[in-house]
Every structure is written in C-alpha cells, then in structure tokens.
Chains A and B, each alone.
Chain A
Amino acid sequence: MAIEVSELTKNFGPATAVDAVSFDIATGSATALLGPNGAGKTTTLAMLLGLMTPTFGHIRVLGADMLRDRYAVLNRMNYASPYIDLPQRLTVRENLVVYGRLYGVRGLKARIHQLAEELELESLINRPYRELSAGQRTRVALAKALINEPELLLLDEPTASLDPDTGDRIRGWLEAYRAQTGATMVLASHNMPEVERLCDRVLMMRGGRIVDDGTPEGLRARYGRRNLEEVFLDVARHG
C-alpha cells in the first residue's frame, strides 16, 4: 500500500474537519477525493503530506509513520496546489533549481531540461514566475511537483481555473507521468470529467467523512446516474 490511514481525525476547536476517516490507497493507483467545499479533502491531503498534524489517528505513507518519521519519505513524494505558490521574483529555472536541491535531486540540470521539454517550458525557463499566466504557473507548479520523480503525487485541484486546452494538457502530462513511472496519485478535485479520466478510484467525502468509495463506473452504476457529476450532486445534496 502507498497510503494507509486509520481513524484520521482533525478538529479545529469545536469543529471537526475530518472525522475518523480510514482508507488504504494501493501503490500505482490514482485516487480522487471528491466532495463539496468543506468536505475535508484539502485537510486530508495536508495531513497526508505532514503539513498538518491530526488530532487523532494514524497515517502511513510509503511505509513511514507520517507522525514520527515523515522525513524518511518526503523526498519520494510531492505536491501541487493552486492555493500555495512559488517565489514570485525568481525565474522558473531558479525555482526548479531551489526545489531540486531541496529534494536532493541528482543530475538536476538534466532533470530541469527534461521537464522543461516535456511540459513545454523552454521559452519560459528564464522568465520570472510572477510574469507568467495562470496556465503557465500551473505548468511550472507541476514541474516542481515532478522534479524529484515522486512515487506519490498529491494534487489539490490540479486544473482549477485553467482554460479547457491547458487543463487537457495538464491531464495528459499527468497520465503520461503515471504510465511512465507507475507512480501513485491522489487528487482532490471538483472537475468530474478530470476525475473520470485520471482516476481508477473515488473516495466521496462529505462533512469530514468518507460516505462512499468505488470506481467511477461502479459509483455511476450504484447511484443509477449517467456521469460522476450527477453522483456528486446526489452525495452533496442528499448524502
């Protein structure tokens, strides 16, 4: 298993953001955390990454206890999110050099060259990050997330606010990366076609709990719906 979570709970004062959630994620799989705003998806991702400590529960990622030994595996995983950013005044190359060094990447120059080629960043590589468009920034964030060739890639709304063309390219790169490396992917998304395209499993969350779990096809069949969006609306509105 790439991820093993049991009884994971996060309270903020009297509010419970994540409520005794348990799940396993198989190595090499692509899993979506799906649910309405406030369902607990981002909080769950943050705890998987070690950015946030749980109030209660256990998390093992790539075999390491994330509460006690997260530094043993942090260079084997990575993360991208539109809600956190990269240093604005550094160029794309400088950002990738800094993060490559933080992750202890060997052959960093070649890796940056490779990523620039694969993610079509060559023309942007010496431009300051702050001068880039939203789509270009997302590509750079993805390059940062792939800099260490992570075995586990966690993504929070990887194509939020992107135009359809850029979103489609990002999804294509993610598919290609997974096919090439066999990496495990976990993503939180509100984009149902994206989830259906990229993921082989969906964890439906609502009110901090996992309320359903299955393949996109299985969920559609179980709820008697034509697509995942209709399933989402059923879960969000009716539980």
Chain B
Amino acid sequence: MADRHGAPRPGTRQGLGESLNRSYAMLLRHVYLLRGSWPRVLELAYWPVMQMILWGFITQFFTGHSEWVAQAAGLLLAAVLLWDVLFRAQLGVTLPFYEELYSRNLGHLFVSPLRPWELIASLLGISTLRTLIGVVPAALLAIPLYHYSIFTMGLPLIVFFVQLLVTGWALGLMISGLVLRFGLGAQSLAWVAIFALAPISGIYYPIEVLPAWLQPLALALPSAHVFEGMRAVLLDEGFHTGHFAAALALNLVYLVLGAALFMRVFALARERGLLLHSGE
C-alpha cells in the first residue's frame, strides 16, 4: 500500500535515528506539559529554593558554633543542593511516568512503534530537564543570599551532579516499575522511598558517624560515595577517585537493575493486560 502521495509505506523504521525521534516525541510531550503550566515550572523550583534558604540560615548559625562547618561554610548548602539533584532526578522519572497513568495514555503509546526502552530514554531526558529547572535557580539564589556559589567546586560538581542524576534515574525506574505492577495505589513511593536512603547517604555528616554495622550498607549506595567525595573536595582534601569509581560502578549496577525491573514489569503488564487498564 502506498500513501496518498505515492510514497512507499515501509515497515516501522528501526534505526537509531528513528528511535531517537520517538524518544524526542515523548520528551516533547512533557515539555508541552511544562510549557502549558507555569505553576508546574515554579513548583519544580519551589522546594529546592526553600530547602536552600532553610539550610543557608542553619549554615550561618553553625558557622559560628561549629568548627567543622566553619572549615567550609558551603558544606551544608552544597549537600542540600546535591541531595535535591538526587530527589528531583528520581521524581523527574516517576512523575512523568505517572502522567501517562493519570491520563490513561499507556494503551495508545504502546500500540504505537514506541519501544519501552525509548520511553525510558525519554524519561531520563525529562528528568534531567526537570532537575536543572529545579536546582539551578536555588544554586543561583544562594550566591546573593549567602555568598556561596556551589559552582566554585568546578569540574567535580559536574561529576557529582551526573552521579546523583543517575542514582535518581535508577530509583525512578524501579519505582515506576513497581507502580506499573501494583497500580497508582503505590504512587506515594515516589515521595517516600528516597527518604529511606537519606540517613545512610551521609548527606550532612560523614559515613563514619553511622554505627559500624550500618556503614557497609551506606557504602553500597552511590549517593554515600558522592557526598563523601563532595566533603573531600570542600575540605580541600582533593578529588577522591576511590569514591568516584565506587559511585560510578554502583550507579551502573543500579541503573541496569532499574531498567531491567522496568522492562520485566512491562513484559508482565503485557501478559496481564495492564497496559489497557492502567490509570486512576
């Protein structure tokens, strides 16, 4: 069959370019959503800014009362900003996925040539965008408000940002998979699951503060290595390649696990007909 213009009708184009085009289409879908709702964009930045303001005052207080914080006034502010990278990156995957469930759109998406991994790629893309929209204004506001620029960290900042972004992606994919499997009744996982990691990620304190039995668990998290590495940089101990390598390796493992879980649940969803009946 030819189309109306006489051009041949090929099968679904399968090249990388076509895959990127489909992922871009899904990215565009979420950009349209943000573009059409300024309150959503403001909301993305609201919590990181509020957190930064709160921790800025705490830092000011501790700078005069704590020798440790006084060594590097940006310790707590950098920590809160980087923690928000992790949290926003995870929300950046799960919330756009929830949007598809809320709008009962999965059925339409998966009768189209969209592959599950192309959806995953688009979720990672929109997560990056949402994280930047959320965290960059807070980081910029910290400069006039507290005379602290996280950007002075330089190249390591990019490394920490990317590592935490990937950790957030991995968690986001796992949570999205669980919500696809168990339905929107489990959606609160997006907001609560990550806080189980917070105490053992060593965001505001070194891992050595934790009980000895808990430290191996902490070191199995990429985020713990990132925050240890961040403190090393801020306390002029230099860039710690050991923590960098550990975080990188762990992130790869968790990202593969997250993607594998999502793909497995997707296959299960096809078996059980969940794609047709997903939604509120």
A residues with CB within 8 A of B: 12, 42-43, 46, 49-53, 64, 71-79, 81, 83-91, 94, 97-99, 101-104, 106-107, 128, 144, 149, 151, 180-183
Is the pair A78, B111 in contact by a Cβ cutoff of 8 Å?
yes
From B36, B112, B270, A89 is in contact (CB under 8 Å) with B36
Please, which residues of chain A bring their CB within 8 A of the CB of B14? 71-72
Please, which residues of chain A bring their CB within 8 A of the CB of B271? 52-53
Q: Give me the 4 closest cross-chain CB pairs, A-B, nearest first.
A: A101-B25, A84-B107, A85-B104, A75-B12
Q: Does B147 contact A (CB under 8 A)?
A: no
* Cβ distance A110 to chain B, nearest Cβ, rounded Å: 9
Please, which residues of chain A bring their CB within 8 A of the CB of B192? none
Q: From B26-34, B172-180, B207-215, give the one contacting chain A.
A: B26-34
Q: Does B264 contact A (CB under 8 A)?
A: no
Chain B interface residue count, Cβ-Cβ cutoff 8 angstroms: 46
Q: Which residue of A lies closest to B273 (CB)?
A: A52
Is the pair A71, B28 in contact by a Cβ cutoff of 8 Å?
no
In the complex with contacts A98-B32, A102-B22, A52-B108 CB distance below 8 A? no
B residues with CB within 8 A of A: 1, 3-5, 7, 9, 11-14, 18, 21-22, 24-26, 28-29, 32-33, 36-37, 99-100, 102-115, 267, 270-273, 275-276, 279
CA distance A238 to B111 in the complex (A): 35
Is the pair B273, A102 in contact by a Cβ cutoff of 8 Å?
no
From A52, A75, A78, A183, B270 is in contact (CB under 8 Å) with A52
Please, which residues of chain A bring their CB within 8 A of the CB of B111? 49-51, 74, 77-79
Most buried by B among A43, A88, A89: A89
Is the pair A85, B105 in contact by a Cβ cutoff of 8 Å?
yes
From B18, B99, B103, B270, A53 is in contact (CB under 8 Å) with B270
Please, which residues of chain B bring their CB within 8 A of the CB of A64? 11
Please, which residues of chain B bring their CB within 8 A of the CB of A49? 111
Q: Which residue of A lies closest to B107 (CB)?
A: A84
From A77, A79, A182, B108 is in contact (CB under 8 Å) with A79
Q: Which residue of B lies closest to A141 (CB)?
A: B108
Contacts A72-B14, A76-B12, A98-B26 aside, 11 further interface pairs with beta carbons under 8 A come to: A12-B273, A51-B276, A75-B11, A76-B9, A87-B100, A89-B33, A90-B33, A91-B36, A102-B25, A106-B7, A144-B108
Q: Which residue of B lies closest to A152 (CB)?
A: B1
Q: Which residue of B lies closest to A103 (CB)?
A: B112
CA distance A106 to B13 in the complex (A): 12
Selected A-B contacts with CB under 8 Å, 22 pairs: A49-B111, A50-B270, A52-B270, A74-B12, A74-B112, A74-B113, A76-B11, A76-B12, A78-B111, A87-B29, A89-B103, A94-B29, A98-B25, A98-B26, A102-B109, A102-B114, A104-B18, A104-B113, A106-B7, A144-B108, A180-B4, A181-B4
* Cβ distance B268 to chain A, nearest Cβ, rounded Å: 10
* Cβ distance A37 to chain B, nearest Cβ, rounded Å: 15
